[in-house]
Amino acid sequence: MNNFNMSAEQIADRQGVVDQSVLEISLGFRVRRAQLAILQDFQDVLGDQGIRPADFSVLSIIAGNSGLRQSDVAAILSIQRANFVALVDGLEEKGLIERRKSATDRRVYFLHMTDAGMAFLQSLMPKWREHEDKFIGRLGGYEKRDQLIEMLRCISD
Amino acid sequence: MNNFNMSAEQIADRQGVVDQSVLEISLGFRVRRAQLAILQDFQDVLGDQGIRPADFSVLSIIAGNSGLRQSDVAAILSIQRANFVALVDGLEEKGLIERRKSATDRRVYFLHMTDAGMAFLQSLMPKWREHEDKFIGRLGGYEKRDQLIEMLRCISD
DNA sequence: TATTGTTATACTCTATAACTATA
DNA sequence: TATAGTTATAGAGTATAACAATA
């Protein structure tokens, strides 16, 4: 490769000339980039299981808290009720969770894991940990991870 | 409010019973939440300027690097060429940037800021800094911001 | 009147294939 | 044959309004 075949970006990168100074110190930009990198890896590692990040988060919440109301799970995950319906539909059609009518308030559905759902979530965990560990490794260990989580919590709270 | 009116979530929150243990230490989940919080604030603070985060990032790159090729700017920002066309169209229609044909390779467009675009970007900066400063404040200062940026870079590199 | 779950809808962001004009 | 820009399209994710059933 010679200079004639190099794009402006390549020349600039080699010479350190591309000025990204504003973006490089932008929390919005860097958080977005990190989010995209993690999303990409999630899809690479867990995509063939037919599961998306939102699905995983719903299963995690229900597995740890059997019988929450549908709208409460949505609220915990900051998903709008309207958008949560199709998500719950999908997990229910796969037999991973089930809706149970409330006996005292007939508007309400309680969400429960099925045995199959619990087994499926368990089967996902090794891959999921591998996925998370990849980034913990890049950070330099669990202590760094905890520091990062704490900072991210400051941002979203 | 009494217990009878409280949702399962509210009861659980008050009693500290909602188990989010897996998600709370999930980098994917916490980064996503932070990204959504920052995006929301960007829209609140800068949305009435008719500018989205991607627009701002493009203007920042071109302002600091006049004459990069269209496809290079897309690559720098990890935006697919195909999706970048409409973005550039929008900024050009607003008169903020302009495409200039390469004299030596007629397939290529170089991207340049217009005077109006430069003035517009300048006018955005106070609001943008206010937006970023909000989160720097939550983190506890610029040093914390730098620590966070460094960690986020580990994740996306 | 207010709330839960739901439908419909729209808008953004992202991903892929294929076209055109150039090289 | 390969590349830059483009078009078309499809899939996610997100946001709002409005409805039926129920409180």
pLDDT digits (tens, 9 = 90+) for B58-69: 999 999 999 999
* Structure confidence at residue A11 (pLDDT): 44
Residues A36-94: tens digit of each pLDDT: 999 999 999 998 999 999 999 999 999 999 999 999 999 999 999 999 999 999 999 99
* Structure confidence at residue B137 (pLDDT): 97
Cβ(B92)–Cβ(B84) below 8 Å:
no
Q: What is the DSSP string of B48-109?
A: GGT--HHHHHHHHHHHHSTTEEHHHHHHHTT--HHHHHHHHHHHHHTTSEEEEE-SS-TT-E
Closest residue, CA to C1' of C20:
B107
Q: Find the closest chain A residue to B135 by CA distance.
A: A155
Q: Is residue B138 part of a domain?
A: yes
The pTM (predicted TM-score) of the whole model is 0.89
How many structural domains does chain A have? 1
B37 Cβ nearer than 7 Å to chain D strand: no
* Structure confidence at residue A41 (pLDDT): 94
* Structure confidence at residue B3 (pLDDT): 33
Beta strands in A31-96 (DSSP E): 68-69
Q: Is residue A1 part of a domain?
A: no
Cβ(B74)–Cβ(B60) below 8 Å:
no
Q: Is residue B58 part of a domain?
A: yes
Cβ(A32)–Cβ(A40) below 8 Å:
no
A24 Cβ under 8 Å from any chain B Cβ = yes
Closest residue, CA to C1' of C9:
A82
Q: Is residue B12 part of a domain?
A: no
Q: Give the residue from B5, B14, B22, B127 with the most A CB atoms within 10 Å of its CB, the best one to mutate.
A: B22
CATH code, domain carrying B109: 1.10.10.10
Enter the tokens of residue B37.
């919080």
Residues spanned by the domain of A150: 27-156
